[in-house]
């Protein structure tokens, strides 16, 4: 009888030790997953920062181009009509406000056409084997934006 209890006790101790080992492995796996998630989070944050920086740079270039075109237009008009008073230069904000006020006439299309979204185009080109730079050039997008779209796909 004593031997039977000893065997049962040893089996139960072995079973408990086995479960402790399994629980320790699960805890380690969870810690590894947390580390992976933190790493992925930091990568996504880096891509977002790069994307917003790229957008700011593109906006600055656009504003400079608009100002340059505005100045060129004003000088051309002044050269064509020298006897008229100088044309008031508009700020970029005024031009944007004027363009926001414009409402085009409503025209009903003859046939509805559907165009793929930028996300779908990026994913399609990536699946065809194009690099980030090629996709960005083809779709006239920033490289960071392409990386961000593909990062969210994973």
Q: Where are the domains of the chain?
A: 1-89, 116-154
The residue to which tokens 């008009």 are assigned: 77
Q: What pLDDT, on a 0 to 100 scale, did the predictor assign at position 72?
A: 84
For residue range 55-113, what is the model confidence (pLDDT) as tens digits?
Answer: 999 999 999 988 888 888 877 777 766 555 555 566 666 766 666 666 666 666 666 66
90 touches 70 (CB < 8 A): yes
How crowded is residue 70: how many other Cβ atoms within 10 Å of its Cβ?
16
Q: What is the per-residue pLDDT across 106-118, written as a single tens digit (0 to 9) for each?
A: 666 666 666 788 7
């Amino acid at each position: 009888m004593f031997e039977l209890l000893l065997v049962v006790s040893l089996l139960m101790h072995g079973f408990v030790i086995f479960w402790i080992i399994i629980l320790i492995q699960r805890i380690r796996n969870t810690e590894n997953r947390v580390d992976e998630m933190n790493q992925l989070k930091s990568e996504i944050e880096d891509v977002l920062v790069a994307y917003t920086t790229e957008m700011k740079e593109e906006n600055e270039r656009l504003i400079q181009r608009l100002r340059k075109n505005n100045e060129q237009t004003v000088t051309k008009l002044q050269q064509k009509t020298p006897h008229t008073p100088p044309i008031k230069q508009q700020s970029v904000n005024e031009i944007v406000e004027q363009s926001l006020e414009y409402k085009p006439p409503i025209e009903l299309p003859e046939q509805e056409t559907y165009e793929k979204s930028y996300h779908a185009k990026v994913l399609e080109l990536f699946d065809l084997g194009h690099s980030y730079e090629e996709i960005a050039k083809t779709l006239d997008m920033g490289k960071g934006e392409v990386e961000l779209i593909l990062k969210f796909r994973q």
